[in-house]
Every structure is written in structure tokens, then in C-alpha cells.
Amino acid sequence: MLPKAETRDPTIAARVAEILHQGLEVQVGEDTDVLVTGLLDSLTFVEILVRLEEAFEVEVDVEHLDIEDFRSVGAITSFLEKRFGIV
């Protein structure tokens, strides 16, 4: 299990969790590693990335994409907060 990622805004985490739920069709906890569990494959990753970009009105530069930032709800939330200043 991943160490719990700090999140400042539970609303952002809830939105991320809902996007993952829609894309993966399963509920995941904030610290569930969707890569290790096999829930997230490359095609689903792209779909979720597009949903995140649309939901948060951001554009993730694929050249600087780090899969570690997308392992869990907490990791994605931290990524959005740090990279895009979403709070």
C-alpha cells in the first residue's frame, strides 16, 4: 500500500475518486494503488487522463507525465494541487 498522500481539499479528492470510479467501474480508496492492483491499464489511463483534464480544465503535458502521480486518488489529487495550483 502507498503512503497516504496529503490532500488539502477533500472536494478535489472526491472528484478524482468519482472520475476513477467512472473510468474503472469500481470504487477505490484514496490510497488504493490502481497500478499494482491491475485496475488501470494503458487504455483506461488515457481515458481517465482525458476525464481529469476536462473536469479540472487543465492540460497535462505528456512529455512530463510521471505514472507515479497517477497511482491513487491521493497521488492524483496531490499532482493536481501542486502542478496546477488547484485548491
Domain ranges of the chain: 10-84
Supply the pLDDT for residue 10: 79
Supply the pLDDT for residue 86: 84
Cell numbers describing residue 35: 497500478
Q: What's the pLDDT band for 87 if we cut at 50, 70, 90? A: confident
Find out whether 74 and 7 touch, Cβ atoms under 8 Å.
yes
Q: What are phi and psi for residue 7, nearest 5 degrees?
A: -130, 140
Helix, strand, coil percentages for the chain (3-state, nearest 5): 55, 0, 45
What is the pTM (predicted TM-score) of this model? Answer: 0.85
Domain 10-84, CATH: 1.10.1200.10
- What DSSP line would sit under 54-83, residue for residue? HHHT----GGG--GGGGSSHHHHHHHHHHH
What confidence tens digit (pLDDT) does each residue in 20-72 have?
999 999 999 999 999 999 999 999 999 999 999 999 999 999 888 999 999 99
Residue 1 has pLDDT above 60, yes or no: no
